[in-house]
Structure 1
Amino acid sequence: MIPASHTCPDYWALEYAGYLFAAHYSHKKTNWICIDQHAESLSSSTSSQSYLYPTEVECGSISCSRTYGGYIQDKEMTCAVCRPNNDRFSTVYTHWGKNQCKSSTRQLYSGFAAGGYYNHAGSGANTLCLPSEVTFAEHTGTSQDGALLYGYEYYTSGYGLTSSSYQQVHLKEVPCSVCENINSFTSLTVYGKFRCPAGYNIDYHGYVFSSSNSDKKGQYVCVDNQAESYPNSQGSMWHHSMSTVYWESRNSVHTMYQAV
């Protein structure tokens, strides 16, 4: 699923386009999911105690301007579900903390990390990689305050990571790249190690990041050990922060199983 888009990358075909939905920001968290723009209902559906709401952009945490990706306050977020348009096999993964994919992979898109506000009980728990250029469709243009989407920033100072790479990105926006590895059967992230299992090749290694233990629930992600900031990061602009998780083993590695 590609958030903030109604189209697919080159060599990929559109399965369906829709809108990003999650729980109301004041309810309990769900995952962000892509609901078809031609949504249907079950014929036997009755009233429910679980609801999904369209997702709106929150500027300030996401830099909103025509020259900065085109994100606009309170507009409803689009999404696209895509598939490879031929019979090749490949794996797709998100490279957290980097503006570009490795040269050995194909970059589908790059952008920045986003999710729910750190102190909101609801919206989505999973971390999204938003593309640097947004595509909007139908929208109200006014605040409806259903599910709310905020940008992520690093919070590394004082949390055990002393390398200059991590200290230089403190309070800066978190970049991400969505990468395709051709002729790879599967991929996985290994937590607590810097090495790959037998038969796998390392793609990158780093440290496990998530929300603080005092914040609302977030997703664990492996951030590259040579972390970068998103271009033109202002620092302390964004309202949602990522901080290192409080575990003894914080190493992680993203690996690929390659065809022989």
Structure 2
Amino acid sequence: MFLMIIFSTALRSKRSELIFSTSLILQDKASPHKSKIVKELLEGYGWEVLDHLPYSPDLSVPDFDMFPKLKEPLRGIRYDSLDELECAVNGLRVQTSAISDLKEQIKKAQSTEDGSAYTRWGKSSCPGNGTETIYTELVAGAHYTHKGGAANYLCLTQQPSWNKYNDEEQAGGLVYGAEYEINFRSRQHFFGREITDEDPPCAVCRTERPTVIMIPGSRQCLDGWTMEYHGYLSSGFYGHDAASEYVCLDVDPEAILGGTSDNDGKLFYLTEVRCGASSLCPPYVNGRELTCVVCSK
């Protein structure tokens, strides 16, 4: 009865038009709101009570996560005046802003650290698809006749720097310049010009996309991937003593000016398929030169 008197008095003084109208009321699931006397009172006024959504951490994240953390620095502190409280809240606001700025800086730093690098063989520049050129240099590697030579191709810088050195020739690993060796094929057919015995350039490229792959046997990237470049799958000659590796030589290879000398060294040959009794053919064709593509995502 007391609740009805208090509620009716307050309602008449503030919103008298609601006393005898059909209204909607939304209240949370606090225990007093669900009591029998409150329900009977609202039914007496003919008001419809709307159901409140469940009050849980997953549906009200600010109440359960953000606000408690914001209030934590002020917990247990008494303030003698409103000015002191306002000063404390403003200080907390400054700290929160500084934390947000720091998070943004960390996010930017992480984004600049993302990405990956690859070498574009046969070109002195990187593709214009948001990829930057780290450096453009010279291709080198072990001599094709050296049985113990390293297999991989190198993209050497044109601006070397040295530790301690001795300029006398001595035993150890050896590095030679590289050349195109496109023998027994029509260079005009493949490249539109003669490139045999010319020295290839290389470019080390960086893309913001974190993953880079080379797909041998294809000149197209998969859906959702970005093409960096495509070309011919290349390696050393199978009959030479030195091991080599498979790399993707650009479809339109360049040559270093003045580099035609036939000094051999590390060599580039086109690769082709040998079917034999394997399951390569089909889809591959015996004797056909293999393509390749470098893709990023």
Query: Normalised by the shorter chain, which TM-score bucket?
Result: 0.5 to 0.7
Aligned partner of residue 137 in structure 2, secondary structure: strand
Q: Paired residue for 1:135?
A: 161
**1:93–1:222 distance in 2 versus 1, CA, 3 Å:** same
**Count of matched residue pairs:** 173
The structure in which a higher percent of residues are helix is 2
TM-score (norm 2): 0.54
Unaligned runs of 5+ in 1: 1-83
Q: With a CA cutoff of 8 Å and minimum separation of 6, indicate the structure with the bigger relative contact order.
A: 1
Output one character per residue of 1:75-107: Cα deviation in whole Å (capped at 9) or x when no partner. Answer: xxxxxxxxx998520110000000111233111
Q: Paired residue for 1:106?
A: 132
The structure in which a higher percent of residues are strand is 1
**1:174–1:138 distance in 2 versus 1, CA, 3 Å:** same
Aligned partner of residue 194 in structure 1, secondary structure: coil
TM-aligned CA deviation for residue 157 of structure 1: 3.3
Q: Paired residue for 1:165?
A: 191
> Is residue 232–residue 289 contact of structure 2 (8 Å, CA) maintained in 1?
no
TM-score (norm 1): 0.61
**1:152–1:192 distance in 2 versus 1, CA, 3 Å:** same
Q: Paired residue for 2:221?
A: 196
What aligned pairs does 1:1-260 form with structure 2 within 5 A after superposition? 87-103=112-128, 104-159=130-185, 162-163=188-189, 165=191, 167-182=193-208, 184-215=209-240, 216-247=242-273, 248=288, 250-257=290-297
User: RMSD of the alignment, in Å?
Assistant: 2.2
**1:195–1:232 distance in 2 versus 1, CA, 3 Å:** same
**1:100–1:148 distance in 2 versus 1, CA, 3 Å:** same
- 1-structure distance, mates of 2:138, 2:160: 12
**1:105–1:176 distance in 2 versus 1, CA, 3 Å:** same
Q: Using the TM superposition, name which of 202-211 and 153-162 deviates more.
A: 153-162
Counterpart code for 2:267: S
- 2-structure distance, mates of 1:126, 1:164: 24
**1:160–1:212 distance in 2 versus 1, CA, 3 Å:** farther
TM-aligned CA deviation for residue 203 of structure 1: 1.1
- 1-structure distance, mates of 2:233, 2:218: 11
Counterpart code for 1:207: Y
Q: Paired residue for 1:34?
A: none
**1:231–1:133 distance in 2 versus 1, CA, 3 Å:** farther
Q: Percent identity?
A: 25
TM-aligned CA deviation for residue 159 of structure 1: 3.6
Q: For the pair shown, which has the larger CA radius of gyration, 1 or 2?
A: 2
